[in-house]
A = this chain, B = another copy of it.
Amino acid sequence: MYKINQNYLKLPGSYLFSTIGKKVNAYSAANPDKNIIRLGIGDVTQPLAPAIIEALHSAVDEMAHVETFHGYAPDLGYAFLRNAIVKGDYESRGCDIQADEIFVSDGAKCDCSNIQELFSLDNVVAVCDPVYPVYVDSNVMAGRTGTYDASTGMWSDVVYMPCTEENGFTPALPKKTPDLIYLCYPNNPTGMAITKAELQKWVDYANEKGALILYDAAYEAYISEEDVPHTIYECDGARTCAIEFRSFSKNAGFTGVRLGYTVVPKDLVRDGGSLHDMWARRHGTKYNGAPYIVQKAGEAVYSEEGRAQLKEQVAYYMNNARTIREGLREAGYTVYGGVNAPYVWLKVPAGMTSWEFFDYLLERAGVVGTPGSGFGPSGEGYFRLTGFGSHENTEKAIERIKKL
């Protein structure tokens, strides 16, 4: 008689963005005449850049001929892409990362949620609060989070690190020492960044305590300020305490193309196990490589034309973020983020919960955002809007909000 993994049944409600999707679909079905503007989920809207389209077509043509056909990709990624990544993202910033420490995958979400498999079930996990739900939920499914308290929205065995107005959305070092520390900068959902000096404190702390930082840098392309690190490996000692996740979704519009990578330095060794070798073994056993045509598209991201075109695309979205930030300020809202990240984090009007504000905005302005409380208890009272819409829609949404 087979038995299910009971941890799955502990998960409260369904995944945040599925819930939003259902609410919006229901509203839309009931109000077919209403034009809804979606600034909720972090999905891009601009088409793929010409250099990427060209690379895709060319790779598809290769797949049409026996001489240039590509079957199984190397589990860990093609050398051409791993080399381009090292050169473009690490060497250029003076970071010591080798090509065989790059693990190409179909996206940072998969990697962020799968990485916990490498660790024993008694590790204590620390997350920022608010936080991207995937870090916590993947640990719930594995059984690492204890029991859920619906009244606080918190798990008994998770260390929550509040990120609030008071601490500038950068958490204090936790009182209880965790084993695995998830950090995401530039941050989703708050849109706030961390300085290099501040991140260095975390690296030093992790090395001192023997903890591991799981660093999600999916939004690094949006960094505009000088003292904000693009990778955790800019910090001294990160090779002995950090794994980094990167995505092509936001810098190159690959949300529907699927490509990401994870850096696992060979210096990460514990209890006779090398995390690098373990992750390689996981890829070899449970993954079959990213598609050849997608990896060729990834390579084009690092070409001269690709870079130039994507710089424009990022600027387009950041112009939207600026429109939201400034428009909301004019409308009297307190807003954060939107300078080094495409997310704007606003305080909802006094007396409303995040979900109440979600309904209010949907019903009164036809604008979809993401309720802060969906990202954790300290997100209550906040709301996320993204710069990933079209500029026209973004302006329209802000005009509607101003009129409320």
A207 to B47, CA, bound (A): 50
Q: Does A288 contact B (CB under 8 A)?
A: yes
Q: Does A290 contact B (CB under 8 A)?
A: yes
Whether A291 and B258, one on each chain, are in contact in the complex, defined by CB atoms closer than 8 angstroms, is yes
Contacts of A73 in B (CB 8 A): 256
Q: Does A235 contact B (CB under 8 A)?
A: no
Chain A interface mostly helix, strand, loop or mixed?
loop
How many residues on chain A are close to B (CB under 8 Å)?
A: 84
Scoring A65, A69, A73, A390 by chain B CB atoms within 10 A of each residue's CB, the highest score goes to: A69
B interface footprint on A266-301 (CB within 8 Å = 1, 0 otherwise): 000011110100100110111111111110000000
A48 to B43, CA, bound (A): 30
Give the Cβ gap from A136 to chain B, nearest Cβ, in Å: 10
Give the Cβ gap from A138 to chain B, nearest Cβ, in Å: 6
Whether A284 and B14, one on each chain, are in contact in the complex, defined by CB atoms closer than 8 angstroms, is yes
Whether A3 and B270, one on each chain, are in contact in the complex, defined by CB atoms closer than 8 angstroms, is yes
Copy number of this protein in the oligomer? 2
A248 to B221, CA, bound (A): 35
Whether B256 and A72, one on each chain, are in contact in the complex, defined by CB atoms closer than 8 angstroms, is yes
Q: Does A41 contact B (CB under 8 A)?
A: yes
Whether B44 and A211, one on each chain, are in contact in the complex, defined by CB atoms closer than 8 angstroms, is no
Contacts of A83 in B (CB 8 A): none
Q: Does A80 contact B (CB under 8 A)?
A: no
Whether A134 and B2, one on each chain, are in contact in the complex, defined by CB atoms closer than 8 angstroms, is no
Whether B288 and A291, one on each chain, are in contact in the complex, defined by CB atoms closer than 8 angstroms, is no
Q: Does A332 contact B (CB under 8 A)?
A: no
Contacts of A294 in B (CB 8 A): 291
Scoring A5, A210, A257 by chain B CB atoms within 10 A of each residue's CB, the highest score goes to: A5
Whether A118 and B8, one on each chain, are in contact in the complex, defined by CB atoms closer than 8 angstroms, is yes
Contacts of A11 in B (CB 8 A): 281
A71 to B285, CA, bound (A): 29
Given A66-B45, A286-B110, decide whether A5 and B117 contact each other with a Cβ distance below 8 A: yes
Specify which of B9, B271, B285, B291 is in contact with A3 (CB 8 Å cutoff). B271
A292 to B293, CA, bound (A): 13
Contacts of A50 in B (CB 8 A): 64
Whether B270 and A4, one on each chain, are in contact in the complex, defined by CB atoms closer than 8 angstroms, is yes
Instruction: List the 7 shortest-distance A-B pairs measured between CB atoms, nearest first.
Output: A1-B210, A2-B179, A113-B286, A43-B71, A15-B284, A71-B255, A4-B273
